[in-house]
Amino acid sequence: MSQQPLKPPRPIVGLLCGLQKLLFVAAGISFLVGGGLIHAESHMDRFSAELVGLGIAAVCFLLGFVVGGLADNLNTTEEDSSIHS
């Protein structure tokens, strides 16, 4: 049985992996300093601003997991199709 060489991942997989990293960085920054910046710029009370910052961090974190799962799924589907061909 001869094995076919694996094809390099499609550009969309690399793009999704980069987007995942950016979303995780945005979540971390929003978690650490988002509430203070929102409080200072919008003159919102501190508690509400912190909640908004945590909400933004949570959304970015969840989107990062979704995008990472999609990238893994596309990469696995591509590997499975190259193995079965």
44-80 pLDDT tens trace: 999 999 999 999 999 999 999 999 999 888 877 756 6
Residue 5 lies in a domain: no
pTM score > 0.85 for this model?
A: no
Span 5-20, mean pLDDT?
A: 79
Q: Residue 51: inside a domain, yes or no? A: yes
The count of domains in the chain is: 1
2 lies in a domain?
A: no
Burial 32-52 (b: 16+ CB within 10 A, else e): eebbeebbeeeeeeeeebbeb
The verdict on residue 46 lying in a domain is yes
- Report how far residue 33's alpha carbon sits from residue 54's, in angstroms, rounded to the nearest whole number: 10
Specify if 4 maps to a domain: no
pLDDT at 60: 95
Range of the domain at 51: 23-84
Note whether residue 47 is domain-resident. Answer: yes
